Structure 1
Amino acid sequence: MRALIADDHSLFRDGCKLLLKSIDPKVEITEAADFDETLKALDKKNAYDLILLDLRMPKLGEVEGLKKVRHLAPSTPLVVVSAMDDPYYAQKAMDYGAAGYIPKSSSHSLISSALKLILAGGHYVPPTLLNKPVAAPRAERSKSELEAAYADAAKKLTPRQMDVMRLLARGESNKGIAEALGLSEGTVKVHVAAILKALKATNRTQAVLIASGMVDAVN
């Protein structure tokens, strides 16, 4: 088996490599850390048997990146493995022909079982996402509007809360944010609540979508 692992977190790629080797000890793995590297790997006309793709990576937006990957590998089983536990993106992934959508919060055994199912020709989306209503993200705003929104958020939030917001924008969990910033999960929850209020978001998913657009605009 030949597999492409596309994720901007090296630790997660390492975990995926170990998992794939437990499924097929002879697996040949190519790694990509952003959408540019992913598209270059696919453009070499390498025949992959499986693609593991994180939607939130540098260089391209989630849906645009997914479309380009699918265009270059229309028949390869594509599995989105994402920190975004969001039915909107799960539906988008399946609409563009993905064979599965697996949240990164899933257990090792669940991810392994889902990949085995997909490699056998099946499909997988967690029941928890199938049962959630699908809500599209807010309409896209211009770069200047996003920059202004970022500046406004910076006035309402503390520097530490801005750090949390930047990690939230990457789809990190409270646990991941706590580990990255040396905070307790309880403190992170307090900061996330303040961020939702500042961004006028009704839930975490909406806050992630708003924050990611703002952070991308200023970087």
Structure 2
Amino acid sequence: MISPGPPTVWIDDSHAIVRRGMAACLQQADFVVRGESATLAPEPVLAGLDILLFEYAGPTLRRAVRLAEGNNTRLVATVRDVDEQAVREIVDAGVGAVLPHSTLTPDTLIATLRAVVAGAVALPGDMLTRLLLHVTQSSHLGPTRLNPRERSVLRLLADGMDTRGIAEDLRFSERTVKNVVHDVLTKLNCRTRAQAVAVATREGVI
């Protein structure tokens, strides 16, 4: 569960000026920056932390995932070079959102982190296309039956709606929406909402 009050974030990037710039943007948007690091050194303290914003690299990704195990911290990766390997590794690791440096602005940074806190899918459209290709080629993901309620929730996730918005649109409680999303992820053998949207799109169910 996300902590009450302003969302908390730890910022990791190899460039100090980038870290400071992101921190300034987020603090102006009422985020609480709990700390910063380069390649996860010093090691972030994730207890009670809402978001770990880190710079993607193979070893850094694996370490971030390990640190987040057993915590409710959500992972957001910034990516300097977006290629097929990066997309596969990031999505398969269960990262909640991706921010390409080429399109990173104060507005996209703030909007993406707010979306992640609210439980929305936060993946750029071109990256979602690559993800769809990746899951299409994954042989372990077979046809799965989804009930009408699950399909409705998935359609709204695909539209970029967050948990609260879906609950209001479908007149469900937020807890119900979260339970439905959990069931969908289990049925589709997915770790993230973005991955579930791509799989459902591939199977033609939304």
TM-score between the two structures when normalised by the length of structure 2: 0.54
Equivalent-residue separation in structure 2 for 1:18 and 1:119 (angstroms): 19
- Report the counterpart of residue 54 of structure 2 in structure 1: 53
Residue 73 of structure 2 is aligned with which of 69, 73, 76? Answer: 76
What is the deviation of 1:73?
Answer: 1.2
Residue type matched to 2:116 in 1? Answer: I
Contact 1:77 1:118 in 2 (8 A): yes
Relative contact order (alpha carbons < 8 A, sep ≥ 6): 1 or 2 greater?
A: 2
| Structure 2 residue runs without a partner (length 5+) | 1-6, 135-206
Equivalent-residue separation in structure 2 for 1:113 and 1:28 (angstroms): 16
Residue 118 of structure 1 is aligned with which of 116, 119, 131? Answer: 116
- Report the counterpart of residue 24 of structure 1 in structure 2: 30
Equivalent-residue separation in structure 2 for 1:15 and 1:53 (angstroms): 14
Equivalent-residue separation in structure 1 for 2:124 and 2:88 (angstroms): 11
What is the deviation of 1:51?
Answer: 0.7
TM-score between the two structures when normalised by the length of structure 1: 0.51
Equivalent-residue separation in structure 2 for 1:9 and 1:96 (angstroms): 24
Rg larger for: 1
Provide closer, same or farther for how the CA distance between residues 11 and 54 of structure 1 changes in structure 2, counting only shifts above 3 A. same
| Structure 1 residue runs without a partner (length 5+) | 56-61, 135-219
Equivalent-residue separation in structure 2 for 1:22 and 1:86 (angstroms): 32
- Report the counterpart of residue 35 of structure 1 in structure 2: 40
More helix by share: 1
Contact 2:23 2:33 in 1 (8 A): no
Secondary structure at 2:49 match in 1: coil
Residue type matched to 1:51 in 2? Answer: L
Residue type matched to 2:59 in 1? Answer: E
Contact 1:2 1:28 in 2 (8 A): yes
Equivalent residue pairs, number? 123
